[in-house]
Chain A
Amino acid sequence: MRLARGRWADITGAVSNATQAWGSRLGVILAVTGSAVGLGNFLRFPGLAAKYEGGAFMVPYFVSLLVLGLPLAWAEWAMGRRGGAAGYHSCPGIFRALWKWKGSPYAGVFGLIVPVMIYMYYVIIESWCLGYAWKYLSGAMALGNDPAAYGAMFQSWTGMAADGSVFQGGGAPLVCLALCVLLNFFLIYRGLSKGIELFCLWAMPVLVLCALVVLVRVLTLGTPDPAKPDLNVLNGLGFMWNPRTEQVGFLEALMNGKMWMEAASQIFFSLSVGFGVVITYASYLRRSDDIALSATTSVAGNEFCEVSLGGMITVPAAFVFLGAAGAVGGTFALGFHTLPLVFERMPLGQFFGFLWFFLLFLAAVTSSLSMLQPAIAFLEEGLGLDRKGSVLLLAVITLIGTAFILFFSKGLAALDTIDFWVGTFCIFVLACIQCFLFAWVLGVKKGMEELDRGALLRIPGWFPFVIQYVSPLYLLAIFGIWAYQNMGGYVKSFQDPANDVVRWSIGFILLNFAFFLFLIHRAVRRWSAALPRPPEAGP
């Protein structure tokens, strides 16, 4: 065993150029929190909470946090550190180390496809936030009180009107996109500690500070229009948080199955569990480093941004200026149509609009950075590429995808299709695999030992039972209901002869799958040539 470990260390040193490491515990926590905090925290959560009767929504939300979000986060951190101790930092490698099945590295393809393909469209949304922040800073967002003007601006910026229209208009959207791509790859090239960690160490506090300033502004709005005394901050907060029991009782409101499903989905996507990111980040930890407290802190940080900041800003602000009708909407509608109109009517709105979109931009960058690292880790340890080579190859792959999504921008069809199949469906699949791997392959006994090693926080006694039975069943139930409600429409759109973009987008996803499976095949052959199996990363 001693010889095997020594030899394995030599071999992993030879096959992988990955000598990456975190610089501090706070750094890794902020990096994981930054990965989780995104547009969903500030736009999707408040929209959902307001839609489902405010206060009542928080019950299924916190239940989902306890039985799904937190257990999956602990499991992913534990598997990541255990895989890292065996010399791997990517999903295919970590799955190979933990799961003694020949096909396990291939199951790890989801851990590459999900972050890489989500990055392809997420960087575009990131560039919208940067563009809007710049427009506020330069005074170009003063479009008046006409809601249609903001809709038209969003259409022209995103190219929603026609395919390829982004390339024909002014160059501003493309310049913003180029800046975002350059920033992401510059930071990734600098590495884990000097790039991702350093950026998150200052970006996360700045993000929270910006949100706090906007929060103070929203809470001190009072009654901006004396002619409409009902539209005031207290009623705005009430619209967000009051359990509306005029028609149905509180307990009756809790019987809404769709609300439970949406609350669970929000927790699941908000925490970035099943993304393949946390498992990679945790793999760079030392064997004896704490993961229990670190994982809990990153989850708590995400919840703080979502509930305490997002929940207090977006809906109350929209309600104060636009009333109940303006305060409910989807992520893009609330973020890019409604809020610019709110900032237009708010005193010093240009300044607060800039702060708002700048914080969304920072949240997006900390997330998009994390989506690149799993593939970088794989290219380094699987193909033996150096940092420059892996960054260059990933830049080419993601640029092709981003250009594809950018070109097929009519109605955001390509973005929507890839978001559905990769950003939702594949995430569910990966989360199910990870849950099964931790609870049933690694086993809860070993899993608990892993979590307890170096722990600065005692994992509660209910965790083994929950991760073994409750979380998988809960996950499968949400997956099943979600698939039942949404699959039909997407399958229909695939069959519609007029929807060429949907078919091309699915073809593009399959092409990516084939490409990454081929790379994994090469990596497995390379790893097998070095040593048939890594030593068990035991205590």
Chain B
Amino acid sequence: MTLAGWILMAASVGATTGLFAWCLWRVLRTPESRDKLHGMLDTEREIEERDR
């Protein structure tokens, strides 16, 4: 394993692992992630209610 190999491996693995960990942390720490997501029919109902 050459120095260039170590650098490329560390950069590639570090970048993908770091990005995934950061994204997951952002997703999990946002309170909305515990909310129920809704389908289109709920959305339309909300639009109607808002329009009223």
A→B interface (CB under 8 Å) = 2, 5-6, 8-9, 12-13, 18-26, 28-29, 54-55, 58, 62, 84-87, 89, 234-235, 237-238, 240-243, 245, 250, 283-287, 289-290, 293-294, 296-297, 300-301, 303-304, 306-308, 311-312, 456-457
Contacts and interface: CB of A to CB of B under 8 A. Distances in A.
B37 A289 contact: yes
A240 B9 CA distance: 9
B5 A242 contact: yes
Given A303-B16, A303-B19, A308-B16, A25 B37 contact: yes
Contact of A12 (B33, B44, B48): B44
A303 B36 CA distance: 27
A312 B10 CA distance: 11
B39 A20 contact: yes
A20 B27 CA distance: 22
Interface string B6-44: 101101110111011011101110101111111111111
Contact of A21 (B22, B26, B38): B38
Which 10 pairs from chain A and chain B are nearest by CB?
Answer: A55-B8, A242-B5, A9-B44, A21-B39, A238-B1, A297-B23, A304-B20, A300-B20, A241-B9, A303-B16
Nearest to A232: B1
A147 B24 CA distance: 42
A87 B44 CA distance: 8
A22 B40 contact: no
A296 B4 CA distance: 29
B40 A89 contact: yes
A312 B27 CA distance: 26
A474 B42 CA distance: 39
Contacts of B9: 55, 237, 240-241
A6 B48 contact: yes
A242 B37 CA distance: 45
Contacts of B32: 25, 289-290
A308 B26 contact: no
Contact of B41 (A9, A62, A308): A9
Nearest to B1: A238
A237 B48 contact: no
Contact of B33 (A13, A24, A245): A24
B27 A26 contact: yes
A457 B5 CA distance: 33
Nearest to B13: A308
A515 B6 CA distance: 53
B48 A9 contact: yes
B4 A25 contact: no
Contact of A241 (B8, B23, B33, B45): B8
A44 to B, nearest CB: 16
A319 to B, nearest CB: 12
B33 A242 contact: no
Contact of B5 (A12, A25, A243): A243
A55 B4 contact: yes
A452 to B, nearest CB: 16
B39 to A, nearest CB: 4
A85 B40 contact: yes
B19 to A, nearest CB: 4
Contact of B51 (A2, A12, A283): A2
15 contacts: A12-B40, A24-B34, A24-B37, A26-B27, A55-B4, A87-B44, A238-B2, A241-B1, A243-B2, A289-B32, A304-B19, A304-B20, A306-B16, A308-B13, A308-B20
B46 to A, nearest CB: 8
